[in-house]
Chain A
Amino acid sequence: MILQMRDLGKTFETGQLRVTALSGVTLDVAAGECLAVVGESGSGKSTLGNLILGLFAPTTGHIVFDGSPLLATRSLEQRRAIQLVQQNPASALNPRRSVQASVRLPLDVHAIGRASERAAMVRALLADVGLDPALAARAPAALSGGQRQRVAIARALACNPRLIVLDEPTSALDVLVQAQVLRLLDDLRRTRGLTYVFITHDLALVRAVAARVAVFHKGRLVEEGTTDAIFTDPRDTYTRGLIAAVPVITEEEKEMRDRLARGAA
């Protein structure tokens, strides 16, 4: 297991207000797998991602990454090993920075490679995500949504990470573009041996990309299992409700959805 979470919880406090965003989560992620973290807004799925990234410390429990404890203040090596791709590439990229400058920044910050080699490394990263080198000097505003997300992926790859938290990476994209970006992510996972924590609200997408699913509801992990198990026999009533709400496009899919929603295997 590359990532082990034990009894993980997070409570936010502001003045009188206490909000428990996540509680009692115990979950493992195996090296090289894509784990889908599914839930609606307020389910705690993004809080989980932020805890893995170390953006804040958990209130309870702990995380172990590759055998060592993962604290909110972590080593540079641990920071490099865990990277993030966000939902909206338009706001995740600095609008004033060119594509090549955005992808180069983590190389400079973490002093990866020699300064003289970094331009070539940036070109290789852009090639890896299928971006035309002619786009390297452009600003994000001059790219399409799919191209921007490819830049964000190249930037996340710059530190040669082991695990990437993908926080709704394609929900801002059109469906044809989404299909291409998902294929790219899948290829990169296989060729580079990456591990993904894929946060999403879209259950139909989960079927396409993930081998295992963790369903969150109101800060708790309500169901966990292989994608096949969840899509043949969902146990939790909330999971069934989530499946029932998926908009479908074929009769075959509708029958399957309605059967799963009723809970009959």
Chain B
Amino acid sequence: MTPLLDIRDLRLSFRLWSGTVEVLHGISLSIARGERVALVGESGSGKSVTARIILGLIQAMRGARVSGQVLLDGQDLGLLSPRARHGLRGTAMTMIFQDPTSSLNPVLPILHQFREVLARKEPGISVAAAHDRAAAALQEVAIADADRVLGSYPFQLSGGMNQRVMIAMALANRPKLLVADEPGTALDVTVQAQTLDLMRGLVADHGTAVLFISHNLGVVREFADRTFVIYRGRIVEQGPTAAVFADPRHPYTRALMSAQPRLTAVGLPDIPERDPAFGDPMEVHP
């Protein structure tokens, strides 16, 4: 069966006045239908640009050079016209960003923004129909007083509430693929745990595949079926999440895990920030 998303040898470089910066050195990654895959790495590793390339947001930037293939449902997105590509965003694939409050438009009420999302798939949807669909979508993310929320501006809602609104919007058009870039990082831990639970339940119900971008190993362990560890534009380790966490093999993955503060561990490990061994070849768990 063809995977839902298939990334093959993805490379990215930026041309700057000072020279060319290589950001991705050949990323290959695939996601099956309904599968939750995590891409975990530190800042500057290339995880967020990978997400943005999938949505076609980087290609439009001046100076960005992208090579390799991104296939959605077997279709090479690089061969699509910008218009066709635009048509996929918000319908077949959607994205959630890190900070929900700044992802929403501060000067429009939630209903207005929800209607814009729904109109991506169903142009000309009436306000009344949009209201009903939005209210149903908010119910799914455990927002009981949908009417109040739909009439509110983002600043009138808490961060956790805005995050749920974002999740509801991202899933409203029943996308095949949801790209979640550090969802919940800006939220309190208890709220983050709740929203992730909620999101996991919803994507399972709808059979939505998720590419989950994160720097937080703990969150990845609880959310993803498979995990890819990225370091400086290269995948260094990949495999089923349970296998990667039970038996991390790549020196970089091991360093990440040892550096992670734990409830069970007292004291601080001495781990180098950099090590030539972090450049070792990729480890693949079957």
Instruction: Name A residues whose Cβ lies closer than 8 Å to a Cβ of B.
Output: 40-41, 145-146, 174-180, 182-183, 186, 201-205, 207-209, 227, 231, 241-253, 256-257, 260
Residues of B221-271 at the interface with A, using a CB-CB cut-off of 8 Å, are 221-222, 245-246, 255-257, 259-271
Q: Establish whether residues B273 and A202, one from each chain, have CB atoms under 8 Å apart when the complex forms.
A: no
Does B204 lie at the interface of the complex (its beta carbon under 8 Å from any beta carbon of A)? no
**A residues near B271, Cβ cutoff 8 Å:** 176, 179-180
Q: Establish whether residues B268 and A146, one from each chain, have CB atoms under 8 Å apart when the complex forms.
A: no
Cα-based distance from A22 to B278 in the complex (angstroms)? 46
Residue on B nearest A251 in the bound complex, by CB:
B246
Closest chain-A Cβ to B41's Cβ sits at a distance in Å of 9
Does B279 lie at the interface of the complex (its beta carbon under 8 Å from any beta carbon of A)? no
Q: Establish whether residues B189 and A202, one from each chain, have CB atoms under 8 Å apart when the complex forms.
A: yes
Cross-chain pair count, CB within 8 angstroms: 111
Contact A205/B273 with A40-B190, A247-B221 known, Cβ cut-off 8 Å: no
Closest chain-B Cβ to A211's Cβ sits at a distance in Å of 10
Instruction: Name B residues whose Cβ lies closer than 8 Å to a Cβ of A.
Output: 42-43, 159, 188-193, 215-219, 221-222, 245-246, 255-257, 259-273
Q: Establish whether residues A246 and B268, one from each chain, have CB atoms under 8 Å apart when the complex forms.
A: no
B190's partner among A146, A178, A241 (CB-CB below 8 A) is: A241
User: 15 new A-B pairs (CB below 8 Å) besides A175-B260, A245-B193?
Assistant: A40-B188, A40-B189, A175-B217, A176-B255, A177-B273, A179-B259, A204-B263, A207-B266, A208-B262, A245-B190, A246-B189, A246-B263, A250-B262, A251-B246, A253-B263
Residue on A nearest B42 in the bound complex, by CB:
A174
Residue on A nearest B185 in the bound complex, by CB:
A171
Contact A179/B263 with A248-B221, A250-B245 known, Cβ cut-off 8 Å: no
Cα-based distance from A178 to B261 in the complex (angstroms)? 9
Q: Establish whether residues B257 and A249, one from each chain, have CB atoms under 8 Å apart when the complex forms.
A: yes
Q: Establish whether residues A176 and B259, one from each chain, have CB atoms under 8 Å apart when the complex forms.
A: yes
Q: Establish whether residues A208 and B265, one from each chain, have CB atoms under 8 Å apart when the complex forms.
A: yes
B261's partner among A40, A201, A207, A256 (CB-CB below 8 A) is: A207
Q: Establish whether residues A186 and B266, one from each chain, have CB atoms under 8 Å apart when the complex forms.
A: no
Closest chain-B Cβ to A249's Cβ sits at a distance in Å of 5
Q: Establish whether residues B259 and A248, one from each chain, have CB atoms under 8 Å apart when the complex forms.
A: no
Q: Establish whether residues B193 and A244, one from each chain, have CB atoms under 8 Å apart when the complex forms.
A: yes
The 7 closest A-B pairs by CB, nearest first: A247-B218, A40-B188, A174-B42, A245-B193, A179-B259, A204-B261, A245-B190
Q: Establish whether residues B193 and A249, one from each chain, have CB atoms under 8 Å apart when the complex forms.
A: no
Cα-based distance from A244 to B191 in the complex (angstroms)? 11
Closest chain-A Cβ to B21's Cβ sits at a distance in Å of 15
Q: Establish whether residues A205 and B261, one from each chain, have CB atoms under 8 Å apart when the complex forms.
A: yes
Cα-based distance from A176 to B159 in the complex (angstroms)? 28
**B residues near A179, Cβ cutoff 8 Å:** 259, 268-271
Q: Establish whether residues A202 and B264, one from each chain, have CB atoms under 8 Å apart when the complex forms.
A: no
**A residues near B246, Cβ cutoff 8 Å:** 251
Q: Establish whether residues A207 and B263, one from each chain, have CB atoms under 8 Å apart when the complex forms.
A: yes
Q: Establish whether residues B42 and A207, one from each chain, have CB atoms under 8 Å apart when the complex forms.
A: no
Q: Establish whether residues A201 and B273, one from each chain, have CB atoms under 8 Å apart when the complex forms.
A: no
**B residues near A244, Cβ cutoff 8 Å:** 190, 193
